[in-house]
Structure 1
Amino acid sequence: MTYALSQSLQEAIYQQLTSDAALVAEVGTAIYDMLPSGTLPGLYVTLGAETVMDRSDISGGGALHRFTVTVVTNAAGFSAAKRAAAAVSDALVDAPLSLTRGHLVGLWFERATASRLTNGDRSIALRFSARLEDS
């Protein structure tokens, strides 16, 4: 197993999201790898948790990365968050990500969970899986 591809995948996902015109039309530049200090915008996207499992075989090292991208809004309803979440999904599914190490075998949407947060905000957590091989 290798966790060595995680940083390369994270960078490629961030680059894909920040360069996607449809997502930028929804949230502007409010796409974060790490939340900034201070007041957050009313609608933003953030990279989240990741779980990695070994998928090595006799041909070499590999891993399955399950990761979350979350859309958060302080709007009264889910409409804006759902548009942004759809743009996130469209930007990532089957995207030809360019990795600095290894290569992407495939990237798939797994599920989404929409919820109201305790502070009244709305959140949509989208979970994806990416199969990577070291090269």
Structure 2
Amino acid sequence: MSYAGSGPLQAAVFDALSADGPLGALVGTAIYDAVPSGSLPDIYVRLGSETVRDASDGTGPGALHRFTVSVITVQPGFASAKQAASAISDVLQDADLVLSRGRLVSLRFERAQARRIDNGAARQIDLRFAARVQDA
């Protein structure tokens, strides 16, 4: 197993989301690894938790990364959050991302959960993806 692909995978996901025009039209540049302090935009994207397990095989070391990308909004209803979540899914599903270390073998959507947070004042959609990374 190798955890070495975690940072490169996160950077490639961030870059792909940041470069996407349709997602940018919805959230602007509000795509964060660490949410900044202070006032936040009405809608933003946060790179979230990750779990990793060994996926080594006969070709070498590798890992399966399951990671979450969240859309958070204080806008009423789920419509804007669902539009942003859909754009994220479009960018990442079967994406051919180039990593600074290792190689992305596959990237696929697994599931999503939409819920109200902050006593109903905000909405959050958590999208979970699975990425198979082979270490070089």
TM-score bin (small chain): over 0.9
One-letter code aligned to 2:53: M
Instruction: Give how far 1:118 is off.
Output: 2.6
- Tell me the equivalent position of 2:32: 32
- Tell me the equivalent position of 1:131: 132
One-letter code aligned to 2:26: E
Deviations 1:44-81 (A, max 9, x none): 00000000010001221000000000000001100000
Instruction: Give how far 1:115 is off.
Output: 0.1
**Structure 2 matches for 1:42-57, cutoff 5 A?**
42-57=42-57
- Helix, strand or coil: the match of 1:60? coil
- Helix, strand or coil: the match of 2:109? strand
In the aligned structure 2, how far is the partner of 1:105 from the partner of 1:99?
11
- Tell me the equivalent position of 2:122: 121
* 4+ aligned runs moved over 3 Å, structure 1: none
- Helix, strand or coil: the match of 2:85? helix
One-letter code aligned to 2:72: V
One-letter code aligned to 2:125: I
- Helix, strand or coil: the match of 2:84? helix
In the aligned structure 2, how far is the partner of 1:3 from the partner of 1:95?
20
- Helix, strand or coil: the match of 1:90? helix
Q: Kindly, what percent of the aligned residue pairs are identical?
A: 58
- Tell me the equivalent position of 2:72: 72
Aligned length: 135
- Helix, strand or coil: the match of 1:40? coil
- Tell me the equivalent position of 1:11: 11
In the aligned structure 2, how far is the partner of 1:121 from the partner of 1:9?
29
Per the normalisation by structure 1, the TM-score is 0.98
Instruction: Give how far 1:95 is off.
Output: 1.2
In the aligned structure 2, how far is the partner of 1:112 from the partner of 1:87?
13
In the aligned structure 1, how far is the partner of 2:29 from the partner of 2:12?
17
Unaligned runs of 5+ in 1: none
Unaligned runs of 5+ in 2: none
In the aligned structure 2, how far is the partner of 1:63 from the partner of 1:34?
24
